[in-house]
Chain A
């Protein structure tokens, strides 16, 4: 139920005094309310739940776990670093 799906902001517009966006989810486009992430701009990714964007996705943070795994590769398995 707390399903949150990442999607890319395609365009923004106003509707009934609310900031809205057209958001692309891997080819499927939906109308999404942007009132809680008003600084999201076209091209950025937001996490969407029941038609509302809740947060912008942070690209640098998104890479963190993979950087950790890459670092782990170069170390003894029993001494893997902290994520």
Chain B
């Protein structure tokens, strides 16, 4: 595929690794923000091609992973209603809530449907005027233009049986929270390529300046990420802390003005709880007052929700880059992709799922690990 295959070229990747090795004179710790980047790093073994002095830590950029347990439980409550068609992106269906996941609910007879595009949920509402169609609007800035358009389209088409359960999250406040933490070890970032196709690169300038960290916006293929790492390492070695764009085939400095305009007309910034991390101020989107009629939380009585999180799961420390998946005592034992305890194991982009999928649980440090499994 054009714009994909050439960025998976082995010789090009090895040249970049050589350049990184030549540039790095000291140990550096770099965080890749996006779950998609984490997945590619583990899939292609990029972390193992790099010199031992370059450590990659995995960031919180997996919206499925960080969607608060309370939001999952709200989705569960709404989807269980007999008058509701509950629509969601596929990766949310197996995220464990306090009372099980949406897939189990579907197996019990609830009308839970996977949609590819939020517009598909709008079409469902038009096709089923007697039913209430609720779309689970989650995601980072990348997904916000699509979700905002779904709400705007429902209004334009006069659909009164369409609403959204919103749990949107934003990247820059999460980076600020990581860098502001006293136990932070991250010295540079691979920035979120697809978030920046929408938002542009400006809001990362302030982060790079105020925290003194290099941020290189990177794509999701091996050559993209290795180029990003090389540029971060060169900045660190030179004592620079700037925003660079290594994904310029898709990211313009201004992002997408029409997408930002629609996001701004439908959503407003709010505080948001992140699963495993806690509430981060001004780190989410909610519907503006003008669109309150499309808010599922206002339309339906959600009652009192009691949330209950697994006590074994350390996904919070993993999402903040403090721990690696194989450092969790439950990893590959009580917690597997087939039976996930926490969100970082559920989503295919979660760090734990990536480590499990590509066999990293078979090679944990203890020589007896295989025998104990």
Contact = CB atoms under 8 A, between A and B. Distances in A.
Interface of A: 1-6, 8, 16-18, 25-26, 30-31, 33, 35-38, 45, 47, 49-52, 54-55, 57-59, 61-62, 64-66, 68-69, 72-73, 77-78, 80, 82-83
B142 interface: yes
Contacts, number: 142
Interface stretch (B246-254, B274-282, B365-373): B246-254
B305 interface: no
Contact of A51 (B120, B157, B193, B262): B120
A26 B157 CA distance: 33
Contacts of A69: 12, 15-16
A61 B142 contact: no
A69 B230 CA distance: 12
9 contacts: A16-B153, A16-B156, A33-B119, A36-B259, A55-B256, A66-B6, A69-B15, A72-B15, A72-B19
User: Chain A interface mostly helix, strand, loop or mixed?
Assistant: mixed
Contact of B89 (A1, A5, A59, A83): A1
A2 B36 contact: yes
B117 A51 contact: yes
B325 interface: no
B337 interface: no
B199 to A, nearest CB: 10
B67 to A, nearest CB: 10
Contacts of A59: 249
B250 to A, nearest CB: 5
Contacts of B156: 16-17
B97 interface: no
Centre residue among B1, B61, B234 by max chain A CB count within 10 A: B1
A80 B139 CA distance: 39
Nearest to A32: B117
Contact of A52 (B1, B4, B61, B146): B146
Nearest to B193: A4
Ordered nearest first, which 8 A-B pairs have the shortest CB separation?
A51-B117, A6-B3, A62-B249, A26-B1, A2-B142, A61-B248, A2-B194, A61-B249
B248 A64 contact: yes
Given A2-B194, A50-B146, A78-B22, A33 B1 contact: no
A9 B224 CA distance: 24
Contact of A1 (B12, B262, B347): B347
A32 to B, nearest CB: 8
A50 B143 contact: yes
A64 B132 CA distance: 49
B117 A45 contact: no
Contacts of B12: 65-66, 69
Contacts of B192: 2
Nearest to A15: B119
